[in-house]
C-alpha cells in the first residue's frame, strides 16, 4: 500500500512537471493552455492525496473550468498564431540562470527550515468524519469573515473593471 502511494505520487509529479514544461515551451498558445489544464488536474490529484477534497473540486471548477475557458476564449477571439520562441538567446540564458538560482535558494530554504512535526487538531480522521467542506466553511465564516467580505468586493470591482476595459475604446 505504501509503495503504491509513492508510485502514484511520483507518476503524478512527473506528469505535472512535464506538462508544466510544455506550458512554457509550446509554440502555439492553445497547446500551452491544454498543458496548463493537465497541470491543474495533477494538482487536484495532489489535493485529494493531501486530504483536501473540497479544494480539489474548487481547483477543477475554478481553474480548469472557469479561468481556462476564459483564457482559451480570448486566444481564439484574438486568433493568435504561433510565435517565434526564444528569439533572443541572451534573454533565455538569463532567465534560466535566474530561475535556477531561485530554485536552489528555495531548496536550501526547504532543507534548512524545520517544519514542526507536532500534528495539529485536524488530521485525516477528522476530515473523514466531520467533512472537509464543513471545516472550510467554519474557518471561512468565523476566523476569516472580514477577508471573505473584502474578497467579494474585489470580485465586484473586477467585474466592473473588466466590463469597462473591454467595452470602451481605451
Partner 1 sequence: MITVYHYMVLSAILFSLGTIGVLTRRNAIVIFMCVELMLNAVNLTFIALSSHLGNMDGQVFVFFIMTVAAAEAAVGLALMIAFYRNRESIDVEEFNLLKW
Between residues 128 and 143, which has the closer beta carbon with respect to partner 1?
Answer: 143
Cell numbers for 128:
473523514
Q: Which residues, including other chains, have CB under 8 Å from residue 51's CB and lie 6 or more apart?
A: 123, 124, 127, 132
d(CA 29, CA 98): 24
d(CA 30, CA 138): 39
d(CA 70, CA 166): 13
Q: In the bound complex, what is the minimum distance in angstroms from residue 135's beta carbon to partner 1?
A: 6
Q: In the bound complex, what is the minimum distance in angstroms from residue 24's beta carbon to partner 1?
A: 3
Between residues 91 and 128, which has the closer beta carbon with respect to partner 1?
Answer: 91
Residue 70, CA distances (Å) to 2, 63, 65, 73 in order: 40, 10, 9, 5
Between residues 119 and 129, which has the closer beta carbon with respect to partner 1?
Answer: 119
Q: In the bound complex, what is the minimum distance in angstroms from residue 62's beta carbon to partner 1?
A: 5
3-state SS, residue 117: coil
Q: Are 35 and 23 in contact (CB under 8 A)?
A: yes
Q: In the bound complex, what is the minimum distance in angstroms from residue 129's beta carbon to partner 1?
A: 14
Which one, of 10, 4, 61, 6, lies nearest residue 37 by Cα? 61
Q: In the bound complex, what is the minimum distance in angstroms from residue 14's beta carbon to partner 1?
A: 10
Between residues 128 and 158, which has the closer beta carbon with respect to partner 1?
Answer: 158
Between residues 128 and 140, which has the closer beta carbon with respect to partner 1?
Answer: 140
Amino acid at each position: 500500500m505504501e509503495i503504491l502511494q509513492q508510485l502514484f505520487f511520483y507518476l503524478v509529479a512527473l506528469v505535472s512537471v512535464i506538462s508544466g514544461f510544455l506550458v512554457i515551451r509550446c509554440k502555439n498558445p492553445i497547446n500551452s493552455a491544454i498543458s496548463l489544464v493537465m497541470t491543474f488536474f495533477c494538482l487536484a490529484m495532489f489535493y485529494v492525496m493531501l486530504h483536501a477534497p473540497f479544494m480539489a473540486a474548487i481547483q477543477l471548477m475554478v481553474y480548469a473550468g472557469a479561468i481556462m475557458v476564459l483564457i482559451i476564449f480570448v486566444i481564439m477571439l484574438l486568433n493568435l498564431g504561433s510565435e517565434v520562441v526564444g528569439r533572443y538567446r541572451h534573454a533565455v540564458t538569463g532567465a534560466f540562470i535566474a530561475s535556477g538560482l531561485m530554485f536552489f535558494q528555495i531548496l536550501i530554504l526547504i532543507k534548512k527550515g524545520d517544519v514542526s512535526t507536532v500534528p495539529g487538531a485536524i488530521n485525516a480522521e477528522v476530515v473523514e468524519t466531520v467533512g472537509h467542506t464543513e471545516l472550510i466553511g467554519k474557518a471561512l465564516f468565523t476566523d476569516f469573515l472580514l477577508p471573505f467580505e473584502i474578497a467579494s468586493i474585489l470580485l465586484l470591482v473586477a467585474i466592473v473593471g473588466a466590463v469597462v476595459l473591454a467595452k470602451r475604446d481605451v
